[in-house]
Structure 1
Amino acid sequence: MDTNLKGKTVLITGAAKGIGRETAIAFGREGSRLALLDIDATGLGETVEAVKAAGGQATAFKADLSSATDIEDKVGAAIAHLGGGLDVLVNNVGSGAVRTFDQLTDSEWDKTFSLNFMSYVRTTRIVLPVMRKQGKGAIVNNASDLARQPEGVPIDYSASKAAVLALTKGLARSEGANNIRINAVAPGPVWTPFWTQPGGFAETMGKFHNMEPQKAVEHEMSLRQLPLGRLGKPEEVANVIVFLASDLASFVTSSVWGVDGGSIRAIA
């Protein structure tokens, strides 16, 4: 089946590693032209080379996506570099740590929402007028299974991702008349640097459970009772993102696609 993504322009936030990098590579295989944003310049450079090796074109833009000013400057520059139009936006950037409600300060809540939610708002605010002018577009937001089935920790992360789903649903309603499709993926546990990096989910989960990071992750997965019995791979999420952005999903909008190994048990 033809995705019709060859030559299409794509902007991806948080593209230096993990799901963002694999999504960029997947679009590269389709022959897309990419603008990639992240605060990690070294990781971005590695992603650019991987995209080129996959057959696509990519340019890196170092950006602090928790900064409104940086988003305005760098997203604008990225769109200009792509020729002033944009076919696909993938809002992917995010971070999280395992902390209880009592441990979270106002500053930490603000920091989580600034990156995990407001970066999506700010980037989309810039992109929508471009897509409206050209009369079409697709936006895919990276949420989480914890947005639909929260755990006690990390509650700030879960809340920020629930806000992403509300944003997705609301904008899909308002932008349908402009032929702009807006969907979300909701990954379950996916083994990426998001988990493995210093201060990431694995390390902070280890402190929470008083275990070594790897054992803490295994313990957490046993509690969640994933039917597939394993963590996901970033490329498994990337494949769904590419599908949702493509013409293969031309009648799909306002949807939340779980890529979670069966972690969500609810029917709706």
Structure 2
Amino acid sequence: MDTGLKGKVVIITGAANGIGRATALGFAKEGADLGLLDIDEKGLAEVAAVAGRHGVTVHSASADLSEAAGVSGGMDELLKGFGNRVDVLVNNVGSGAIRSFDDVDDAAWDATLSLNFMSYVRATRKALPILRANGGVIVNNASDLARQPEPVPVDYSVSKAAILALTKALARAEAPKIRVNAVAPGPIWSPFWEKPGGFAETMGKYHKMEPQAAVEHELKLRQLPLQRLGTPDEVANVILFLASDLASFVTSSVWGVDGGSIRSII
């Protein structure tokens, strides 16, 4: 099936690894040109090199997306590289750690919301004038924890719930020219989990287990029907679908890529 993505300009935040990297390479295979934004300059260079093998144009910008100036400057650099054009914005950047409510002080709340939520707001502000003029798509990366919060991590869950509210509001406000949807991944094995200080390590500290044992324990607690962690490619496949012409009648939706973790019928 023809996705209609060939020749589109796609900007992806948090593109250097994990779901962002898989999404970038998926779009490149479909012939889309890429604007990649991340703080990890080395990771960006590696993704750009691999994506470029598909014959597409790739621009990348290294920036701290937890700060307003970083998002603004990075988006400006990418938009300038494409002659002030964007067809698809994928808001993907995020971070989190397993910690209880009592362990999240004001500074930690601010840090989580600034990166996980306000980066989406700020990147969208930059893209919207162009998308309003020409039409396009926004896909936001949320989480199953936005719809079904667990005791931890509370700040991460709240930031992802805010993304769903933003998605729904923008979908109604910007229709019919702009479609806005969200993916809600469940546990996905990526650098987000395995990096020092990531979900696996902090989950181990929380459950007082080795990281791998803690992850297995968490999966049992969540009772995932598919009984495994997902992969970045499995999330990227859904992001590509939502951005494509195949999803032309899909907006204001939340697509779970969660191994069946969400039990609600709505």
Give the equivalent residue in structure 2 for 1:203.
Answer: 201
Equivalent AA in structure 1 for residue 260 of structure 2:
G
Equivalent AA in structure 2 for residue 52 of structure 1:
G
Shift in Å, 1:76? 1.2
Check conservation: 1:31, 1:57, Cα contact below 8 A. Answer: no
Shift in Å, 1:108? 0.1
RMSD across aligned C-alpha pairs, in angstroms?
0.7
Shift in Å, 1:201? 0.2
Q: Does 1:175 align with 2:174?
A: yes
Aligned residue pairs, count? 266
Q: Does 1:53 align with 2:53?
A: yes
Give the equivalent residue in structure 1 for 2:154.
Answer: 155
- Describe the SS at the equivalent of 2:78: helix
Pairing of 1:36-47 with structure 2 (within 5 A): 36-47=36-47
Shift in Å, 1:50? 1.7
Check conservation: 1:35, 1:59, Cα contact below 8 A. Answer: yes
Give the equivalent residue in structure 2 for 1:81.
Answer: 81
Equivalent AA in structure 2 for residue 267 of structure 1:
I
Pairing of 1:12-23 with structure 2 (within 5 A): 12-23=12-23
Equivalent AA in structure 1 for residue 136 of structure 2:
G
Give the equivalent residue in structure 1 for 2:112.
Answer: 112
Pairing of 1:1-268 with structure 2 (within 5 A): 1-134=1-134, 136-177=135-176, 179-268=177-266
Equivalent AA in structure 2 for residue 19 of structure 1:
I
Check conservation: 1:15, 1:38, Cα contact below 8 A. Answer: yes
Distance 1:265 1:99 in 2: 24
Check conservation: 1:11, 1:35, Cα contact below 8 A. Answer: yes
Shift in Å, 1:55? 4.2
Check conservation: 1:184, 1:255, Cα contact below 8 A. Answer: yes
**What is the CA deviation profile of residues 189-242 of structure 1, one whole-angstrom value per residue up to 9, with x for unaligned ones?**
000000000000000000000000011001000111110111000000000000
Check conservation: 1:61, 1:78, Cα contact below 8 A. Answer: yes
- Describe the SS at the equivalent of 2:59: strand
Check conservation: 1:172, 1:183, Cα contact below 8 A. Answer: yes
- Describe the SS at the equivalent of 1:165: helix
**What is the CA deviation profile of residues 128-187 of structure 1, one whole-angstrom value per residue up to 9, with x for unaligned ones?**
0111122x110000000000000000000000000000000000000003x100000000
- Describe the SS at the equivalent of 2:229: coil
Distance 2:200 2:109 in 1: 20
Distance 2:56 2:220 in 1: 39
Distance 2:95 2:53 in 1: 28
Structure 2: stretches of 5+ with no match in the other structure: none
TM-score by length of 2: 0.99
Equivalent AA in structure 2 for residue 2 of structure 1:
D
Distance 1:29 1:111 in 2: 34
Distance 1:84 1:210 in 2: 50
- Describe the SS at the equivalent of 1:102: helix
Check conservation: 1:30, 1:56, Cα contact below 8 A. Answer: no
Moved over 2 A (4+): 53-57
Distance 2:4 2:80 in 1: 22
